[in-house]
Amino acid sequence: DEMRNVTLNLFDLKGEAVANLLNETQYSGMKQINIPIPAELSEGIYMLKANINDKQYLKKIIISHW
């Protein structure tokens, strides 16, 4: 398996970075990970940006405190 640099960052809808959630090297392949969301973030819609080596992925997520 190949090692890959993985970062996950959370942005508000204005494009401002609000949290760095993950920054590590991992083996390639599918994974399921649990990432704690900082409690100080307000409920709402955010953009999650994943950088894996030279590729970027962007996903809209909703944070809700229940």
Residue 66 has pLDDT above 80, yes or no: no
58-46-31 Cα angle (round to 5): 50
Binned at pLDDT 50, 70 and 90, residue 29 comes out as confident
pTM here?
0.82
Q: Which comes out higher in pLDDT, residue 58 or 38?
A: 58
Identity at 17, one-letter amino acid code: A
Binned at pLDDT 50, 70 and 90, residue 30 comes out as confident
Binned at pLDDT 50, 70 and 90, residue 51 comes out as very high
pLDDT score, position 52: 94
